[in-house]
Structure 1
Amino acid sequence: MRRADPAAARDLGDVERAAAAALPPEVWDFIAGGSGRERSLEANREAFDRIFVASRVLRDVSGCTTDATLLKRPVRMPVAVAPVAYHRLVHPEGELATARAAKTAGVPFTVATLSSVPVEEITAVGGTVWFQLYWLRERRRTLDLARRAEDAGCQALMLTVDVPWMGRRLRDVRNGFALPGHVRAAHLDGGAASAAHRSGRNGSAVAAHTAEAFSPSVTWSCVEELRAATRLPLVVKGVLAAEDAVRAAELGADAVVVSNHGGRQLDGALPGIDALPEVADAVGDRCEVMVDGGVRGGTDVLKALASGADGVLVGRPPVWGLAAGGEAGVRQVLDLLADELRDALGLAGCAGVGAAGELRTVRLPQGGRA
C-alpha cells in the first residue's frame, strides 16, 4: 500500500486523492461508495455547495477561536470523528492511530460497533471517546456492549437508528466485497471469522454479516431502554424528520445527529444539511443537534453552524488521512479542518463559534444561480 506525504495536502481533496491512489480498488469502493445510484451520496456534497453565508463586517476577529463544547464538554473545534467501520482495512494500526490523532486535535473520536480494534484499547489512548451502538438481534448483547463501553471509559453512547439492515451498496455487491482475514469486527466476532469474510458472487459479505447481527426491529422502545440503562450522554444518530428529533429529545437524548448515513442507506434520503434547519428549530434547546454527510472543509462546518448545528461529524475524511499517511495523515485532516474553520469564522465576521449561529444563510437552486 503506497503512502502519501500528508504534509503535502492543501485541502481535503488532496487527501482524498492520495487515499484513492493508496488503496486497493475494492477497499476504496467500500469507503467511498453509497447505496443504489448514489444520488444521496452526491446530494450531500451538492447541498453544501448550494449554501451561501451573509458574512458580517466591522467586527473585531483578532482573537478568533474555534473552541466550543459538544455534549457539554470542551473541544478545540465543534467537530467529532464519526463512527466508521474497520479502520484496519486501510492501515495496520486502524482505530488506534485515528484515536491518537483525534486526541491531539482535541476532538472526540467515536468508536464504531464494527471497529476493528476493541474499545478498551482505544480508550487507553486517552482523549474524548464516544461509542456507537447498533441495536443487535440479541438485545442482551446490545446492553452488554453499552456497559462494556461505559466500563472502558467512553464518555457518550451514540445509537444509530437508520440501519434496520445495510443499504444496497452496489459497488460492494459488484465486487463481492468481503473482509480480508486480518480485519475483524472486534466487538461482535472476537478472533473468529464471520460471514463478513466469506466472499461470493451473490453480493456483499459485509452486508450479509450485518444482516445476521443487526435487528430490523429497533424501535423507540429501544431508545427508552438504552436511556434507562446508562448514565452516559445519549446521542441518537440518523434522524432526518423533525418529529423524530423531537421524540428523541423527549425520551432523554442529549443530542441528535441529522444524517442520511453518508448516502449509504436509503438512496434518495434528504441530505442532513438540508434537513438540519427544520430539526434545529423543532428541538430548540431540548438537546444538542449535530449533522454529518458531505463535510469536506472548514467552510462546510461554518455553514452547518449557521444552519443550526452545534457541531458536525466527519466520517470519510479521517479515513482518507489514515489511508494516505497513518496517524500523521489523520492529524493533517483535522488540522486542515481547524485552520479552515478559523479562517471561515474570521472572514464571516465571527470571533467564535457561537457567533456563527447568528449568520444568515441562503440556499441557491441547484446549479448555484438564483
Structure 2
Amino acid sequence: MDPNPIQTLADLERVALSRVDKVTREYWAHGAGENITVRENASAFDQYRLRPRVLRDVSTVNMTTTVLPSTNASPALVADFPVGIAPSGWHKMAHADGEAGTAAAAKALGTAMGVSMGTIVGEAPRECCSPEAVRDAGGSAVAFFQLYMFNDRALMADILQRVQKAGYRTVLLTVDTPFVGKRVAEIRNRPQLPSFLTTINFGTLLGTSDGPEDMDKKEKRTGSLHIDNSLVWGEIIPWLRATTSMQIWLKGISTAEDAQLAVAHGVDGIVVSNHGGRQLDLCVPTLDALPEIVAAVKGRIPVHVDGGVRRGEDVFRALALGADFVWVGRPALWGLAYDGQRGVELMLTILREELKLCMGLTGCASIQDISPTCLRLVGSSAKL
C-alpha cells in the first residue's frame, strides 16, 4: 500500500468522495444544469501552457501577497501564499471539525478564509458553527464574511453588526444569486438532503433566545425570508456603506461591464466567480472571464478569482492572467472529509508546494514576477 496516497488534489478528491454518501458527494460535485460550467471552470486552465525561463536566481521563492490592503482602522492582511479558502456552506457535512477546523487550517498555513453565510445557517450545533467560533479558530485569517441579501433589511443589518463585532473585516456580497440556479442533483436528492440544506434558519446569527416570546419573534421574523432580487447598484452599495464599516467586496462578477460599475460605485474589491458553476450553466468559465475584468479594473481595486483551481500550476496561471489572489472551495471540503483540519492543511500545503515549484521552474522568484508572458495559448506560436 502506498504510504503517501495523497500527492495531488485529484488524489484527495478521489479518496474524500469515496468516504461520503451519495447525496453529499453529488451536493459537492454537481452544479447547475448539465454541469458544463462546473467542468469548464477546471478545463479552462488547460488552454494555457507554461513558458519556463532559465538561469534566474530562484534560490529564494517569495510567495507572500496582500489579500486586503490596509485601511485607517486595520493593517494590511498578508498571506504567506496567494491561495485562500472560498466561502462554502456546511463544512460539518464533511467532518466534525467543521468550519472551525477549516479556519484553523487557514491560520496554520498563513492564508485567508471566507466564511459562508450558509455555514452558520443551521438548526443545531452539529450542523453549523457560530461566526464567533469560526473567527476564534482562525483569528485574523478569517477576514471575509459572505452575505446573501434577503429582503429583511433589519435582519441583514443585525447580521452585519454581529460579524463586524466578531472581528470580520470584509463583507463579501454575493451578487450572482437573484434566483437560485437549477441544481438538478439537489432537486433529485431533495427528499434525502439534511434539513439544514432545505430550510432557512438564522438562529446562530440572531443569537440565542431568552425565552419563548423571543423564540416566537425569531420564528416569525425568519419564516418569510426571501432573497432580494430587486438589488441595484445605486441602492445596495450605499446601504452597505451606511450599515457597516467593513470593506465592501462583490463576489460573482464575470464581465468587464460589471467590473467597471463596481469601480464606479466605490466597492473595495471583487471576486471573479460564477458560484462554482452552481448558478447558471453554460456561462463563461472564470479563468476566461478574468483577463477582460483585469483590463477593465486597471489596478484600481483588487481582483480575486475562484473556480476550478485544482493544481498549483492553476494558481500560477490565474496570477499570470492578472488575479491578485486565488480562492478554492470544493478542495477544502475534500480535505475535511479526508482528515478534518489536518486534511485541509494537507490540501493547502499541496497547492503551496506545487506553486513554489512552478514559480521556480518558470524563473519567478516572487509573485510580482508572474505575468502573461509566462503563458502561451495552446496552438499559438506567440506568448500572451
After TM superposition, the score normalised by the length of structure 1 is 0.88
User: Is 2:214 aligned against 1:217?
Assistant: no
Runs of 4+ displaced beyond 6 Å: 182-187
Equivalent pairs, count: 346
Q: Is the 8 A contact 2:152 2:225 kept in 1?
A: no
User: Is 2:247 aligned against 1:233?
Assistant: yes
Equivalent residue number for residue 377 of structure 2: 363
User: Is 2:121 aligned against 1:124?
Assistant: no
Q: How does 1:274-313 map to 2 (within 5 A)?
A: 274-313=288-327
Equivalent residue number for residue 73 of structure 2: none
2:61 and 2:253 map into 1 onto residues whose CA distance is: 32
Change over 3 Å in CA distance of 1:178–1:210 after alignment to 2: farther
Residue of structure 2 aligned with 1:97, choices 96, 101, 106: 101
- The more displaced of 323-332 and 168-177 is 168-177
Q: SS of the residue aligned with 2:303?
A: strand
Change over 3 Å in CA distance of 1:84–1:185 after alignment to 2: farther
In the TM superposition, residue 211 of structure 1 has moved relative to its aligned partner by 9.8
Instruction: Note the aligned Cα RMSD (angstroms).
Output: 2.5
Change over 3 Å in CA distance of 1:277–1:86 after alignment to 2: same
In the TM superposition, residue 157 of structure 1 has moved relative to its aligned partner by 1.4
Residue of structure 1 aligned with 2:287, choices 273, 276, 285: 273
User: Is 2:71 aligned against 1:74?
Assistant: no
Q: How does 1:1-370 map to 2 (within 5 A)?
A: 8-72=5-69, 73-115=77-119, 116-125=128-137, 126-129=139-142, 130-176=144-190, 179-180=193-194, 188-190=202-204, 212-220=225-233, 221-357=235-371, 359-364=373-378
Q: SS of the residue aligned with 2:140?
A: coil
Change over 3 Å in CA distance of 1:160–1:6 after alignment to 2: farther
1:41-86 Cα deviation digits (max 9, x unpaired): 1111110111123232221111012111111221011111100011
Higher-Rg structure is: 2
Change over 3 Å in CA distance of 1:155–1:24 after alignment to 2: same
- The more displaced of 176-185 and 242-251 is 176-185
After TM superposition, the score normalised by the length of structure 2 is 0.85
Q: Is the 8 A contact 1:94 1:117 kept in 2?
A: yes
Equivalent residue number for residue 204 of structure 1: none
1:137 and 1:365 map into 2 onto residues whose CA distance is: 49
The amino acid that maps onto 2:20 is L
Q: Percent identity?
A: 39
Change over 3 Å in CA distance of 1:6–1:288 after alignment to 2: farther
In the TM superposition, residue 191 of structure 1 has moved relative to its aligned partner by 10
Change over 3 Å in CA distance of 1:187–1:291 after alignment to 2: farther
1:308 and 1:95 map into 2 onto residues whose CA distance is: 30
Which runs of no fewer than 5 residues in structure 1 stay unpaired?
Answer: 193-208
In the TM superposition, residue 335 of structure 1 has moved relative to its aligned partner by 0.6
2:280 and 2:311 map into 1 onto residues whose CA distance is: 25
Which runs of no fewer than 5 residues in structure 2 stay unpaired?
Answer: 70-76, 120-127, 207-221
